[in-house]
Chain A
């Protein structure tokens, strides 16, 4: 029983972070048809932004999370205004934008390295203390992570499904020309999508670093996992991505428990290879969107 609770708690914590990290990636893919290789750096910048607000500016600790969100969102906006905007609709957009965003990722990582140094910091945004369920120790931090991720993903779902902005985003993703004919300023929609996705990634970065440390490379690992999750869910399927993230978090927790911590990631990678071979469109995807 304790084993099950332990796996559930660890899996839910991992799943919540993964979901937050990957939903934005899926949203960008689904709307713009671009794979954002800089997504991991959105997380890094969110984490460092939050750190700076609290440590360097001395603002209260609860500002840290929104600050991380804003830092990620601004990075997303900047990337749109400086790069994506000019490449949209060009030939081989899908491939070129991957290369371009990979470049952005490297530049941003170098900037973080130059600004903060390579030495890992402790994220101030952590809550001490724990409670017990049976014999299983559950930290308040884990509870907060699950709650924050659930709230942010819930808010994103409401935004996408119930608001005019969300309807415009979904319309643009489903049929670009038709969205334009409805009067949607699709380029602005793309900017909004990158802001939302960047914000979610920034918040994910704050949560992820609260369990480990901040380092310039911290976004790499969650970015890869977010990619795995997106492939398993079907690229661009936002709702499915959230579900797949929780499922893979639980799977990773179980694998870590039964096979050992270092087997968690390899099992996920094997899974993505299997999916790419036998079900390349993922669990929820219908077909791979290729937009020029």
Chain B
């Protein structure tokens, strides 16, 4: 089954297209990784899919529903969750309030409480920091809060924009361990990443974005053989 199907998407800022005729499908419960150099439309694509910016052309189907004309909050209601780049936490709220904001649209208090416990079990550090203001957290804690906040939405498709950005190598490993565990949780993931080697370990499909277009996609194993491709985009990894 297809979780997300994007057909001929053209979008950008003030009529200046950043994305040009982007098409791809994401299978349910799979991990779809979007890689490629900076400034070539990966973040714009996620911002478009979550409804923060509108598109000029194309169709987006999420679990059988056309969503390209829906507002951001309707997409969240449908379980399309976007964990944005650089965390975008609510700085003057506590960790717990940030997590509760992630469950803003959920009405059942009991469900929200059990999700909160799950997130604390998943990231025990957040349980220790629950009353601390988000803007006083370390980089790793901020990232965990951002991901935890996304998990609180109980989404079916989670889009993560560079979950390892700006973290020390040890922390990146930890975050990737968490992602690996999450990828077996029955959710579908769309992960934007800069480093192809790292994401290849957990992705089912990898797509390479360049100049606002998807120029290559396939299973991670076949990316290894595309040496020329990797050379040209990432300078010899």
Contact = CB atoms under 8 A, between A and B. Distances in A.
Interface of A: 164, 167-168, 170-171, 174-175, 177-185
A251 B104 CA distance: 42
Chief secondary structure at chain B's binding surface: loop
5 contacts: A170-B90, A174-B92, A177-B88, A179-B101, A181-B76
A180 B52 contact: yes
B97 A184 contact: no
A185 B73 contact: yes
Contacts of A171: 90, 93, 101, 104
B220 interface: no
Contacts of B42: none
In the complex, the 6 A-B pairs of residues with the closest C-beta atoms, listed nearest first: A183-B76, A183-B105, A178-B88, A180-B72, A183-B73, A182-B104
Contacts of A182: 76, 101-102, 104-105, 149, 153
Contacts of B52: 177, 180-181
A180 B51 contact: yes
Interface string B54-84: 0000000000000000011100110001101
Nearest to B90: A174
B50 interface: yes
B197 to A, nearest CB: 29
Contacts of A167: 93, 97, 100-101, 104
Task: Identify whether the interface residues of A are mostly helix, strand, loop, or mixed.
Answer: helix
B9 to A, nearest CB: 19
A178 B104 contact: no
A181 B50 contact: yes
Contacts of A180: 50-52, 72-73
A174 B91 contact: yes
A163 to B, nearest CB: 11
A198 B52 CA distance: 29
Contacts of B11: none
Given A175-B90, A179-B90, 15 more contacts: A167-B97, A167-B101, A174-B91, A175-B89, A175-B91, A177-B84, A178-B90, A180-B51, A180-B52, A180-B72, A180-B73, A181-B52, A181-B81, A183-B72, A185-B71
Interface residues of B, number: 25
Interface of B: 50-52, 71-73, 76-77, 81-82, 84, 88-93, 97, 100-102, 104-105, 149, 153
Contacts of B92: 170, 174
A216 to B, nearest CB: 39
Nearest to A187: B71
B189 to A, nearest CB: 16
Contacts of A183: 72-73, 76-77, 104-105, 153
Contacts of B97: 167
A104 to B, nearest CB: 27
A180 to B, nearest CB: 4
A168 B90 CA distance: 11
Contacts of A175: 88-91
Given A175-B90, A181-B50, A164 B104 contact: yes
B15 to A, nearest CB: 15
A177 to B, nearest CB: 6
A180 B54 CA distance: 14
Contacts of B90: 170-171, 174-175, 178-179
A182 B145 CA distance: 14
A175 B97 CA distance: 14
Nearest to B105: A183
A175 B102 CA distance: 13
A179 B52 CA distance: 11
Nearest to B146: A178
